[in-house]
Amino acid sequence: MDLKPIVLEAGLDPVARAKEKAPTVLALDAIAIEKAELSRKLAQLSELSLELTGLEQVTKKEVEAEERQTTKGLRRLRKLELAIRAGLKPRRLDNEVFCWRDANGFPRLGVFSLESDICQFSIDRYGSASKNAMPKWLAETPAYDDVFALLQKKRENDRTIITARFSGMLPDQARTTLVIAKVFFDPICILAEVQGWDLKHEVSPLRKDPLIVGFVDGLPYLLDAFDTTTLEEYAKAEFTG
């Protein structure tokens, strides 16, 4: 991801906006058409590669690179096809959602892995980005370089940090989605709106409509949305009435 930061107006709902950026549920017939096109392309590339002479090594390498990319595209489509047959409704999500910022330059959407309830951006005492608390894939993307640069400018102490902690429980619907999604998507993350990032205090994302996002070959797909629940609400629904 190499998109530049985009400031969303305070009145805009980033979760609703993200859904708008993933308007179409992938359909099996559309995937079948795209698979057929890529298969024809791969066959043509393979035939061309065999015809090229030793004199055309530069072109041969270019063709082989295109073959690898086409094969990767076919693999992605096969995974999506299987995910749909398993009951998921993936929608291609625009990468720009990871670049949305508030008026202060901080992320409008916190990104949470399934292994941790923490979304954290930190600069250490030496002025370097500290990414140990971040999911590996997130630490490797440049989409948040502007956030680290901003923290660098604000650095006053040994460590400058902003942290959001996910709270609440996942509903059964979300758990079911995740069980299926783990077979086909990697990584998987939760996007949740965060308001009022604070350099001194931990904040919590809004409980309404967090998004489940899964990746296939580096491309993000919106898989589901849900509202979190408290333990008290869960117990009331599960054990009363």
Question: pLDDT per residue over 117-167, tens digit each?
Answer: 999 998 887 778 877 666 777 777 888 999 999 999 888 777 889 999 998
Give pLDDT, residue 235.
Answer: 46
> Above 90 in pLDDT, residue 73?
yes
What percent of the chain clears pLDDT 90, i.e. is strictly above it?
68
Distances (CA, A) of 89 to 13, 70, 158, 187, 222: 22, 24, 45, 17, 8
Mean pLDDT, all residues of the chain: 89
169 forms bridges with which residues in the sheet?
A: 229
pTM for the whole structure: 0.89
Give pLDDT, residue 237.
Answer: 54
Give pLDDT, residue 132.
Answer: 67
88-104 pLDDT, tens per residue?
A: 999 999 999 999 999 99
Residue 231: band (very low, low, confident or very high) from pLDDT cuts 50, 70, 90: very low
Q: What does the chain come to in residues? A: 241
* C-beta of residue 185 within 8 angstroms of C-beta of residue 154: no
Give pLDDT, residue 168.
Answer: 82
